[in-house]
Amino acid sequence: MKIVVLDGYTENPGDLSWDGLKALGEVIIYDRTSLTDQNEVIERVGDADVIITNKTPVSAKVFDACPNVKLVTVLATGYNVVDYEYAKSKGIPVSNVPTYGTACVGQYSIALLLEICHHIGYHSDTVHAGKWQNHIDWCYWDYPLIELAEKTIGIIGFGRIGQTEGKIAKAMGMRVLAYDLFPNDFGREIAEYVDLDTLLAESDVITLHCNLTPENTGMINKDTIAKMKDGVILINNARGQLINEQDVADALNSGKMYAAGLDVVYTEPIRADNPLLKAKNCIITPHMSWGAKEARQRIMDTIVMNVKTFMDGDPQNVVNK
């Protein structure tokens, strides 16, 4: 079994081991492969049996040029980088890694919110720069400090990650609202399910934890923002395409939206002309909320299982059955 990893660096920059995968066959690992040059992908896949990719696209062209491929497994939950329908037509299963980041992604969304509330990194920098030791007062803060207790958080998409965030928010004394297409009893123990308009109107903080679909692409836009409270806080570490970036930038600059904490943007890596880069009170981090070592270890373990179960004739986590 020949296995090619097209872009292994973000999954394993050196703090994990590929040994579990190497025990299953010949493994060739590339740190990075072109995101735009499918000819490079074809050259690297060659006669491999298994392709492992994170963000490197695997198109129909690759499948046609590499007829030995029998399995593609993605180092992530999302699998839109693979032409999985074409793979299905050729009898090639595509597998993913579900639920690996529930704890760390939910935790990170709260971290973004707390940074907006306290600007801890900024104030630490001012102390190291000498501002405190030279200050006329015994303490200071350069941004308003926000207490979250008794405020309302509205979570759009209340699956595993949304519910994890909801538990933390509830523990901090927040009222938790949820909007989800499939309410369940676990969610009802944490939040009050409401319709989307109610959530938009009543929430002091709105967070996104839904899957990206054609129906919800750009769901945070000037029309939905108009339904929100003045001074609302927006958190998004789900998918960048859920928001209209210009509309959010406009809302931040006008003061309609107090702040945004974003770990994802529409086009990644972020483009220099992204309007959010110059928007007021907008924290942007580089799509890193999934990257805790514990979460990446779960990815590694699941990838090994995906390949092994395929070899055993019972492939798991297949998304294109």
Catalytically annotated residues:
239, 268, 287
For residue 316, the Cα-to-chain-centroid distance in whole angstroms is 23
Instruction: Give the SS3 label for residue 224.
Output: helix
Phi, psi of 307 (to 5 degrees): -70, -45
Tokens of 264: 């994802």
CB atoms within 10 A of CB 182: 7
Assess contact for 295 and 103: CB atoms under 8 A. yes
Measured at the alpha carbon of residue 315, what is the angle toward residues 311 and 317, in degrees to the nearest 5?
140
**β-sheet with 282-284: strand ranges across:** 192-193, 175-179, 152-156, 205-208, 232-236, 257-262, 282-284
For residue 223, the Cα-to-chain-centroid distance in whole angstroms is 24
